[in-house]
Amino acid sequence: MDFDKDKQIFGDFEKNIEFFKRVFQNDDMLRIRTVNLGDTKIRVAFLFFDGMVDSQSLEDSLVRACVRAESVPKRADLDFLLKRVLYSSEITKTKNVNDILSAILNGDTLLLFENSEFALTVDTKGWETRSIDEPSDERVLQGPREGFDESAILNLALIRRKLQTSDLCIKSTKIGRRSNTAVYICYLGKLADTKTVEELKKRLSKICIDGILDSNYIAENIRDHKLSIFKTTGTTERPDIVASKLLEGRIAVVVDGTPVVLTLPYLFCENFQADEDYYLNFIVGTLGRLLRYACFFISISVPSVFIALTTFHIQLLPTAFMLTVSELRSGVPFSSVVECLGLAFVFEILKETGLRTPQGLGSALSIVGGLVVGQAAVEARIISAPMLIAVSLSGVAGLMIPKLKGAVFYLRMILIIAASLWGLFGYMTVMSIVFLSAFSIKSFGVDYTLTLKNPIFQRIKDTTIRAPWDKMFTRPDFNKNKIRSRKIDD
């Protein structure tokens, strides 16, 4: 039920209770409890939703405090209740209906006082949340083990624990006509670009949707280049990652009801960064990143290059290898491109099956599908061993870069088709188009491939390599304060 933004409650105690009963007449979770204030006949009513409040806090700080109030004057008013009776740390005095509804729907308790035109909303939130645990998709061998959960307030507290500075700015808004979901914008005031913050607020204000149930609802609505295969907003479930992004001048978007936090602007090089790069020796971190870049090209290129060489450019292959491939392909009923596309789809099916099924069963299915069925298909001459090796190598290499799994799949398929039609010329043409499109992408006004332009050491120190900490004394180029210093107001 929607009301005018200036609608106010009645000045009558009974009418107010009946009004809220009518508003929530189809919700059996609404609870209403009425007590007398101390030894007087002044009535106080508490309205709340069962399961949304902390019962112990409600009983101790509100109900018991009112019932056991002492020295209550006969004409006690709401101010007496505020100053002498209630003990809650957060109490709001209001008579605006929309403010009251928003409060009790978020777990607060509404307090109605007899013969008062105002009401009180008291913070009694107390719904159950998951315990703080390490995100299953972002596990590290060394480093913090904390992870976000579905409570935005708790997530903001985890971020503040990492950044104990008054410069941390947190702005809230509500999105979703029916869900009225709380969304928080976090940034460091002296590091984040003011124009980027304003642009983000502008895009958030334009979102028109019934409900926000996950941060991806917002990511799809605010991202640049919505048809691009490369994402332009980062996602993470780790407080340490969000803190590190904020220290670089980025902005985080925390959505209530989901553990996934958005970070922006987002650059292409971030797809190849891993949490452990910063918790291990810089040499180990650099080797890991170089391996991920190599796996990206292996994953999208091996099947298509193999098809191009065996179909159009067989003269480029060593004679012994060419004869071996021809011999192993003899008897296979399908063309190379059909065989390759089929194997690629089967690999994706096996990967998704392993992710969606229970852990033990998923591992068993992956082993059966990958080893038993694959070996049987080769022996039955349905597929050839060289093609199986090429596609398997491509698929396994793609697992090294989970942040690009969507882009890797699309690029792999497009390159396979291009190579089957035009050979290496088709492969090089598509790769050129991909690179040109990547260079044209922007993320909130920042070039997606900013680090690849004029690649001096301080620009690539945290991209393809992970330089030692004493060498990383500048922030990313999009930051207005590039130089890191020892001053507190840098």
Predicted confidence at residue 467, as pLDDT, reads 84
Q: Considering the domain boundaries, does residue 277 fall inside one? A: no
Predicted confidence at residue 488, as pLDDT, reads 46
Q: Considering the domain boundaries, does residue 354 fall inside one? A: yes
Predicted confidence at residue 368, as pLDDT, reads 59
Identify the domain boundary among 236, 266, 296: 266
Under the banding of pLDDT at 50, 70 and 90, the label for residue 386 is: confident
Under the banding of pLDDT at 50, 70 and 90, the label for residue 422 is: very high
- Same domain membership, residue 186 and residue 296: no
Identify the domain boundary among 202, 237, 266: 266
Predicted confidence at residue 372, as pLDDT, reads 66
Counted domains in the chain: 3
Q: Tens digits of per-residue pLDDT, 101-158?
A: 888 888 889 989 887 888 889 888 877 677 778 887 888 878 888 889 888 888 999 9
Q: Tens digits of per-residue pLDDT, 8-54?
A: 888 788 888 999 998 888 888 888 999 888 888 888 899 998 888 88
Query: Model pTM?
Result: 0.84
Q: Considering the domain boundaries, does residue 469 fall inside one? A: no
Stretch 303-322: mean pLDDT, rounded?
87
Q: Tens digits of per-residue pLDDT, 433-457?
A: 998 888 889 988 888 888 777 677 6
- Same domain membership, residue 303 and residue 242: no
- Same domain membership, residue 427 and residue 292: yes
Stretch 199-222: mean pLDDT, rounded?
92
Q: Considering the domain boundaries, does residue 273 fall inside one? A: no
Q: Considering the domain boundaries, does residue 134 fall inside one? A: no
- Same domain membership, residue 64 and residue 104: yes
- Same domain membership, residue 95 and residue 156: no
Q: Considering the domain boundaries, does residue 1 fall inside one? A: no
- Same domain membership, residue 246 and residue 102: no
Identify the domain boundary among 404, 425, 443: 443
Higher pLDDT, 11 or 400: 400
Q: Considering the domain boundaries, does residue 70 fall inside one? A: yes
- Same domain membership, residue 312 and residue 425: yes
Under the banding of pLDDT at 50, 70 and 90, the label for residue 205 is: very high
What is the end-to-end Cα distance of the chain in Å, rounded?
48
- Same domain membership, residue 304 and residue 418: yes
Domain ranges, residue 204 = 152-266
- Same domain membership, residue 401 and residue 304: yes
- Same domain membership, residue 333 and residue 251: no
Higher pLDDT, 136 or 178: 178
- Same domain membership, residue 188 and residue 84: no
Q: Considering the domain boundaries, does residue 348 fall inside one? A: yes
Predicted confidence at residue 363, as pLDDT, reads 59
Predicted confidence at residue 246, as pLDDT, reads 93
- Same domain membership, residue 384 and residue 248: no
